[in-house]
């Protein structure tokens, strides 16, 4: 079905949607205990594997019929046509009239992706090559700071998409990073962020990467100017900027105005959304940390899942399956959130990264044609690494009144073999998904000798759905695969919901409103706000003194 045909029919009028509504009534009360008992092969059958990612989706509240209808929904929604449109450079971000081509950032040399009549792949590789050459100069010590010392500290200044990917990737790939160098990330306009990131660093050995697609973002530009003052105060010469500041941006004019030579600027393009940019030049800090070869492996991982998403039949397509299951809970079970639970300490920032990827992409209230949606769109994403979360919020997932589908992510091999730590960690993954699915009945609790009055408190209803994502080892390649898996799952969901997953008008409003009030904090108050805002501004100014 073409995109246009798909979009002329509202989602809730599609045959598959109606069939799913009826089907939901029939199976919503079925328990995973019974689904497994009646189907001994379920745990091997309802799984999919591609590019080293094993996805077990058997512990979901679905039957073969559910899957059939969800796949039919994907067909009727025109997912294939939308996916092809993205890969071929069509302007599918319709509100910003932009192509959406993060997949081009990891396309190998020689592939061809055309936007506005121009093949963009050669330009992608030209920037990657410049990044690699620069990284080698910094890492080898050939690049010297203003006073002749090699660079030992790298600080990325950026926010949102220009921060969350780099921080997440640095933490995730710390095992592969240069241990004799320090990497820090400043995002918040709260001066504390900058002060703490720099207080123990020597400016002579510090490089700032100013990462901003627009080079006009309030937080980033404030931090960038503070960084320049900090560096110049210590280095005492405006010429030092050339050796201690580089920029990652699409805005050469503003970069020049700031005082950074465009020879030290790494570009990207308007068809890279901020939250999809960690594999563009925005990943410069990642490349500096892990080296160009590992960065290439990261890109290769992304690309392998791009190809899988583009070519695999939907019933075996990991991002499509994950996206459809997310729609199933979000729209039929009314689940409000999804918990992402990586059982790997290196992935501690992965949930925060996914929060932006998923919520900024699919937190939309109108369809592509501007109609208010009549169904739920993007769920709230949240999470923490296991096993830490087990000792805090898992209580609510197990015994609370809310249904929270969870993604458990684990690796067969650890990067830090220490005694039996890894087996203990992974035992918890398997135990948690088992407990969430099957729970513990009153009979089982009683059989343990629990007094009657305590039995209800110790019952676990189970029937809590989970994905288990198992991979061999957390390598740069594996990280690329994992991120691409979620990117394309987000795409799948957005396509079904008929929304623009690639704009972010909700973010723009905050940027405008804050600018208006800054003037009032620094000058006379306007008194033109509501009574609450007027009072808060007045009180702040009085207490601030």
Binding residues (CB under 6 A) for ligand G6Q: these are 159-162, 212-214, 217, 220, 273-275, 360, 504, 507
Judge if the upstream peptide bond of residue 498 is cis by omega within 30 degrees of 0.
Answer: no
Neighbours of 58 (CB within 10 A): 22
Q: Closest CB to ligand G6Q among 213 and 398?
A: 213
Report the C-alpha gap between 536 and 22 in whole angstroms. 51
Residues with Cβ < 8 Å from 463, sequence gap 6 or more?
A: 31, 32, 33, 61, 437, 439
Is 139 within 8 Å of 256 (Cβ atoms)? no
Report the C-alpha gap between 360 and 353 in whole angstroms. 11
Report the C-alpha gap between 71 and 270 in whole angstroms. 33
199 is catalytic: no
The single residue listed with the structure tokens 């830490």 is 388
- Least separation in angstroms between CB 500 and ligand G6Q: 12
Select from 205, 201, 212, 195 the least CA-distant residue to 157. Answer: 212
Nearest residue (beta carbon) to ligand G6Q: 160
* CB burial of residue 182 (10 Å; 0-12, 13-18, 19+): middle
Report the C-alpha gap between 118 and 101 in whole angstroms. 13
Select from 393, 188, 384, 156 the least CA-distant residue to 289. Answer: 156
Q: Token pair of 245, please?
A: 């500041």
Residues with Cβ < 8 Å from 105, sequence gap 6 or more?
A: 124, 268, 272, 277, 279, 280, 299, 302
Select from 60, 66, 28 the least CA-distant residue to 47. Answer: 60
Q: Spell out a b/e string for 378-414, using b for 16 or more CB atoms within 10 Å of the CB, else e.
A: bbebbbbbbbebbeebbeebbeeeebbbbbbbbbeeb
- One of 360, 384, 477, 487 is an active-site residue; which one? 360
402 is catalytic: no
Report the C-alpha gap between 100 and 214 in whole angstroms. 17
Q: Token pair of 297, please?
A: 């492996």
Select from 275, 207, 204, 294 the least CA-distant residue to 244. Answer: 207
The single residue listed with the structure tokens 């620094």 is 522
Report strand pairing: 118-119 vs 153-157. unpaired
Is 172 within 8 Å of 346 (Cβ atoms)? yes
Element (H, E) at 406: strand 406-411
365 is catalytic: no
Provide the 3-class DSSP secondary structure of residue 93.
strand
Q: Spell out a b/e string for 321-343, using b for 16 or more CB atoms within 10 Å of the CB, else e.
A: bbbbbbbbbbbbeebebbbbbbb
Q: Closest CB to ligand G6Q among 156 and 317?
A: 156
Q: Which residues are catalytic?
A: 360, 391, 511
């Amino acid at each position: 079905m073409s995109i246009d045909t798909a979009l002329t029919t509202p989602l809730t009028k599609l045959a598959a949607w109606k069939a799913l509504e009826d089907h939901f009534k029939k199976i919503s009360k079925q328990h995973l205990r019974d689904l497994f008992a009646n189907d001994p092969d379920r745990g091997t059958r309802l799984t999919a594997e591609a590019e080293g990612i094993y996805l077990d989706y058997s512990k979901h509240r679905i039957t073969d019929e559910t899957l059939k209808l969800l796949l039919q929904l994907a067909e009727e929604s025109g997912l294939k046509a939308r996916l092809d449109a993205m890969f071929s450079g069509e302007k599918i971000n319709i509100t910003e009239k932009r192509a959406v081509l993060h997949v081009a950032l990891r396309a190998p040399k020689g592939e061809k992706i055309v936007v506005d009549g121009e093949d963009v792949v050669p330009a992608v590789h030209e920037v990657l090559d410049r990044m690699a050459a620069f990284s080698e100069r910094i890492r080898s010590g050939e690049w010297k700071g203003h006073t002749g010392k090699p660079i030992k500290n790298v600080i990325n200044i950026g926010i949102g998409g220009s921060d969350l990917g780099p921080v997440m990737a640095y933490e995730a790939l710390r095992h592969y990073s240069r241990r004799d160098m320090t990497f820090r990330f400043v995002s918040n306009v709260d001066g504390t962020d900058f002060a703490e990131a720099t207080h123990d660093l020597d400016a002579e050995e510090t490089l700032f990467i100013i990462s901003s697609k627009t080079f006009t973002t309030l937080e980033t530009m404030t931090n960038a100017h503070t960084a320049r003052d900090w560096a110049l105060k210590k280095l005492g010469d405006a010429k030092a900027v050339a050796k201690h500041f580089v920029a990652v941006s699409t805005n050469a004019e503003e970069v020049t105005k700031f005082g950074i030579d465009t020879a030290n600027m790494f570009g990207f393009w308007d068809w890279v959304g901020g939250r999809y940019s960690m594999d563009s030049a925005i990943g410069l800090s990642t490349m500096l940390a892990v080296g160009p070869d590992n960065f290439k492996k990261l890109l290769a991982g992304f690309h392998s899942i791009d190809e899988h998403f583009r070519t695999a039949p939907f019933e075996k397509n990991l991002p499509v399956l994950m996206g459809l299951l997310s729609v199933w809970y979000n729209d039929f079970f009314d689940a409000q959130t999804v918990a992402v639970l990586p059982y790997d300490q290196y992935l501690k920032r992965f949930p925060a990264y996914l929060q932006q990827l998923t919520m900024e992409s699919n937190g939309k209230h109108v369809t592509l044609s501007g109609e208010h949606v009549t169904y739920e769109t993007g769920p709230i994403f949240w999470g923490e690494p296991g096993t830490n979360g087990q000792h805090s919020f898992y209580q609510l997932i197990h015994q609370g009144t809310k249904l929270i589908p969870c993604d458990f992510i684990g690796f067969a091999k650890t990067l830090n073999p220490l005694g039996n730590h890894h087996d203990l960690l992974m035992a918890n993954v398997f135990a948690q998904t088992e407990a969430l699915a099957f729970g513990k009945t009153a009979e089982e609790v009683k059989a343990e000798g629990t007094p009657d009055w305590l039995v209800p408190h110790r019952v676990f209803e189970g029937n809590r759905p989970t994905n288990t994502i198992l991979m061999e080892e957390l390598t740069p390649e594996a990280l690329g695969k994992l991120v691409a898996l979620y990117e394309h799952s987000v795409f799948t969901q957005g396509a079904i919901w008929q929304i623009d997953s690639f704009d972010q008008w909700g973010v723009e409003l905050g940027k405008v409103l804050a600018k208006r009030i800054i003037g009032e904090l620094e000058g006379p108050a306007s008194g033109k706000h509501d009574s609450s805002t007027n009072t808060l501004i007045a009180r702040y100014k009085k207490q601030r003194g």
